[in-house]
Each structure stands twice: as structure tokens, then as C-alpha cells.
Amino acid sequence: MQTSLTDAALWHRIHFGFTVTYHYLFPQLTMGLAWFLVYWKWRALRTGDEKYNRAARFWARIFGLNFAVGVVTGIPMEFQFGTNWAGFSKYSGAVIGQTLAMEGMFAFFLESAFIGAFIWGERRLGPRGHFIAAVGVATGSWLSGLFILVTNAFMQHPIGYAVAADGTLALSNVGAFLLNPWALVQFAHNQCAALVTGAFVITAMGAFYTLRGLHSEQARVYLNTGTLVGLVASLLVAFPTGDSQAKMVGRYQPVTLASMEGLFHGTRLADVTVIGQPDISQQRLENPVPLPGALSFLACGTFQSYVRGLDEFSQNDWPDNIELIYYAFHIMITLGTIFILIMAWANWKRWRGRLESSTGLLWILMLAFPFPYIANSLGWMTAELGRQPWLVYGLFRTDSGYSQVVSAGDTIFTLIGFVGLYFVLGLLFLYLTGREIHKGPDAPYPVAKRQEVAV
């Protein structure tokens, strides 16, 4: 009997979707925090002011927890290409394997060599060495992001490849493959979004300690650095990176753009709908509140530009869940706008010297930190659901990519295993992070427990 529980293609997708979405909750913070740590270590080196060292030490502990969860949830990802997506691996391994192998060789070796030394080795390394370790970790984490985004960009907008005699893909132009314009735009957009997460988390911590009346010197450092970077990064996420990304989608995946905006019929003066739900069966939006012409302007540069609608494409090539793409994209955009407003407000107050006394705003800043995680996840949902029904856009369909020998049942089984493990992992992470926050940044610098050494 054929039911959705026996639909292997679906379960392989959910399997990867779940593990990768969960995984990315952690690297987005490490990538966002990494340069804050470098900055504070650098300030400490330059000014000799111990408060920057304390900030770096405190955040290194939070970083370390995130990093550990990021590593242990990231390792399965690479192997899932082989276990769950054997068809895809065989078809495109010669191309995407390049960047995945580069990630291991260039980014992970760098990151992993310095991470232990950075978190626990301050006494081993000395101030300069510790700063260098911070730079190594930050560079490694961003390089890793770069290679993953080049890989993803190939799936979104394949270039630099040739089709080999047996029908699989081969690399033909390395330069084009690595400098894929899609990759550069997506990398910039994604890294700015990671900085937004980092900045909101740091700001939230500063707001929390201020509201609690604790660690006021440290809280001020977090609020100052966090709100400044938060504003700049939120602006950069929207413009130019988000804007260019949307134009890129409009140019190379017009059917995806139409799904993101719920544009069923092609038109000039295409609207952006602020509120509205797509109704696929009727091919229209319910209760739309439109901004007239905005989509034409944003996607193509003029209000008069023609934007192609879903009706111009075969339904066979439509992404297979338009509602999800539409909601994901719209909520991401809304959140992105709210981030800019909150951070602009916070910077205004900070500039006036009143941030620490604005209780209402501090509450908002403290509670805002989950939303960048949501926006990041939704952005990736837009990208990955928007790519459907293709695994490699225009070349290779998702339903030919999964492992034929692995049944739906086996996939559900391992998926449940991951859900269980990751639930426990999430609890542990929250518990340990909570402990660190409770102990706070002004905990004494650890000294060896002498009685233990004496034993």
C-alpha cells in the first residue's frame, strides 16, 4: 500500500531538512560571534583594558558550547550525502565534492586546530597567541561558510560544469564554479545575517544584565558593540545583499520569485503583498494588502518592469510547496525590517546616552534575540524550498537524488533517532548556557584547584 509513510523521497527530504536546520542554529551564532571575539581580543591587546579580555573570555565560553554542538551536528551532514542522497552524490560528487572536501581541508583544520587552544589555552598561549587563535577560529568558521555556500550556489545556479559520458557531472571551469555570482551574493547575505544573530544575542545579554542590575561594566560593552554591529549588519542584510539576492532569484529562478511573492499571473506594476495568504487551488491571494508596483521595482529596478507569474511556467516546474515559500519569505522580510527599526532606535538612545535607562527598550532588546534565528531559518527555507523540484537547478530533480536502496522506514527510523538525540542535546545546551549566563562574565579567572593537584 502506498501512503505518505512509504514515500521515501519525502522522508529523505525531511531527514536532511531537519538535521540541517537544527545544525544551522549553532554555526550562525559562532560565525556571528567570532569577529566580536577577535575585536575584543584586539581592543584588549591595544588598550590593555581588562574588561575586553573579560568580555572575550565570557563569550568564548558561550562560543565554545555553540561550537561543540555545531561540530557534532555538522559531521552527520556530510555523510548524509552518501547515506540518504546516493543518487545525488553519484551524479554531482565530482563537482560539489570539491567544495565539501575544501571545507574540510581548508576551513575545519584551521578552525579545529585553534578552537581548543582559544577556549582553554589562554594561559598556554599568552595574549598575542590567544588573539591569533581567535583570528584562526573566525577565519576558519567563515571559510567553512563560504565553501558551503559555493556548494549551495551550484545547486541553485549551476555553472562551470560539463556533462560526462555516463550522464554525471564533471567540473569544467573551476574559476566559474568557485566565483559563481550566486555564491558571492548569497555568502554576503548569509554572513551579514549571521552577524545579525550574533549582535542580537550579545545585545540581549547586555540588556538582561542591565535590567538585572548585574555586571554593569560588561553589560555596557555588550550593548555598545552589539547595537552598533546590529544596526550595520541589519542594514546590510537588506541592502545591498538581500536586494541583490532577490534580483538574482528573479533572473535565474523566475518561478521561485513568483512563488515567494504569490504572483500567480505575470504583470507590469507587480505588487508586493504585505499581508495575504496564497490559495493554490484558486490561484490567488486571500485578503491581499498590496504595495503597488513594489515587486517590479525591487526585482527589476523599475515600476514598469514585467514580472513573470506562476501561470507562465509548467506546473511540473513549480516548487512543490508554494505556501511555505511564501510565508517563509514574507516573515523573513518582515522580521528583517523590524530588526532595522529596533536597532536604529537602540542606537539613537545609545547616542543620546540613555540606552541603559530605557527600560522598555531594554526589554525589547532582551526578548528580540530568538527572532534572528527564525529569520535565518526562514531565509534558508525560502532558498531550499524555492529550488524545488530541482536538486541541481534545471539539471537534476530532487526525486532522482535520494538513495534507492534505503527505504522510507529506515529513513524515518534514523530521523527519529536524530530528533531524540537533538532534543537531549538542545536541553543540555540550554542548561549549560544558562549556567554560564548565571555565573556571568565577572566570575574570577580560574586558578588551579591546589588541593586537587596535590592529591
Partner 1 sequence: MITLWYGILAFMLTTYVVLDGRNFGAGILHWLVARNPIERRQVIAAIGPLWSWHEVWLVGTGGVMLMAFPRLMSASFSGCYLALFLILWCVLLRGISIEVGRHLSDRLWQDFWDAVFVFSNVLLAVLFGAALGNIARGVPLTSQGSFYLPFFTNFGVRGNVGLLDWYTVPMALFCVLILTAHGAIYLTMKTEGAVHERSVRLARGLWLAAIPAFVLITLLTWLVRPQLLHGMAVRPVSWLTLIISAVSIYALVTGLRHQRERLALLGSSFLLFGLLMTGAVALFPVMLFSTTDNSLQLTAAECAAPAFSLAIAIAWWIPALILAFAYLCVIQRHYAGKVNVSKDNQELY
Map the footprint of partner 1 across residues 102-141, applying CB under 8 A. Answer: 102-106, 108-110, 112-117, 120-121, 123-125, 129, 136
Selected from 9, 395, 425, 437, the binder of partner 1 by CB under 8 A is 425
CB of 449 to partner 1, least distance (A): 7
76 binds partner 1 (CB under 8 A): yes
Nearer to partner 1, 70 or 198 (CB): 70
CB of 406 to partner 1, least distance (A): 5
What are the start-end ranges of the E strands in 280-419?
Answer: 284-291, 306-307, 390-392, 396-397
What are the start-end ranges of the E strands in 292-342?
Answer: 306-307
Nearer to partner 1, 212 or 435 (CB): 435
Nearer to partner 1, 66 or 382 (CB): 66
C-alpha distances in Å from residue 381, one per residue of 17, 278, 287, 323, 386: 9, 17, 24, 12, 8
* Whole-number Å distance between alpha carbons of 442 and 195: 25
426 binds partner 1 (CB under 8 A): no
* Alpha-helix residue ranges (DSSP H) falling in 253-304: 254-261, 294-300
Nearer to partner 1, 101 or 341 (CB): 101
CB of 376 to partner 1, least distance (A): 23
Selected from 25, 29, 56, 68, the binder of partner 1 by CB under 8 A is 68
Q: Which long-range contacts (CB under 8 A, 24 or more apart) does 103-106 make?
A: 103/143, 103/144, 103/147, 103/148, 103/151, 104/78, 106/143, 106/147
> Three-state SS string across 60-82, please?
HHHHHHHHHHHHHHHHHHHHHHH
CB of 46 to partner 1, least distance (A): 23
Element (H, E) at 284: strand 284-291
Nearer to partner 1, 203 or 218 (CB): 218
Q: Which conformational region is residue 150 in: left (phi greater than 0), alpha (psi within -120 to 50 degrees), or beta?
A: alpha
Q: Which of residues 44-63 bind partner 1 (CB under 8 A)?
A: 61
* Whole-number Å distance between alpha carbons of 432 and 318: 44
143 binds partner 1 (CB under 8 A): no
Between CA 186 and CA 193, with CA 192 as vertex, the angle to 5 degrees is: 85
How many of the other CB atoms lie within 10 Å of CB of 127?
13
CB of 242 to partner 1, least distance (A): 30
CB of 305 to partner 1, least distance (A): 40
C-alpha distances in Å from residue 239, one per residue of 245, 340, 381, 426, 432: 10, 11, 20, 33, 36
366 contact partners, CB below 8 Å, separation of at least 6:
204, 207, 208, 211
449 binds partner 1 (CB under 8 A): yes
Nearer to partner 1, 354 or 435 (CB): 435
DSSP 157: S
Stretch that binds partner 1, among 20-28, 96-104, 206-214, 265-273 (CB under 8 A): 96-104
Stretch that binds partner 1, among 219-227, 230-238, 287-295, 409-417 (CB under 8 A): 409-417
Nearer to partner 1, 84 or 358 (CB): 84
How many of the other CB atoms lie within 10 Å of CB of 221?
21
DSSP 356: G
Nearer to partner 1, 83 or 224 (CB): 83
Q: Which of residues 341-360 bind partner 1 (CB under 8 A)?
A: none
Selected from 71, 179, 280, 294, the binder of partner 1 by CB under 8 A is 71
Give the number of residues in contact with partner 1, rule: CB under 8 A: 79
Q: For residue 169, what is its C-alpha cell?
A: 557531472
Stretch that binds partner 1, among 37-45, 240-248, 343-351, 411-419 (CB under 8 A): 411-419
Selected from 367, 421, 427, 430, the binder of partner 1 by CB under 8 A is 421
Do the Cβ atoms of 210 and 223 come closer than 8 Å?
Answer: yes
Q: Which of residues 389-408 bind partner 1 (CB under 8 A)?
A: 403-406
CB of 222 to partner 1, least distance (A): 19
Q: Which residue, chain included where needed, has cell 496564497? A: 278
Element (H, E) at 391: strand 390-392
* Whole-number Å distance between alpha carbons of 265 and 308: 7
CB of 184 to partner 1, least distance (A): 19
18 binds partner 1 (CB under 8 A): no
CB of 413 to partner 1, least distance (A): 8
Q: Which of residues 156-175 bind partner 1 (CB under 8 A)?
A: 164, 168, 170-172, 174
Q: For residue 246, what is its C-alpha cell?
A: 532577490
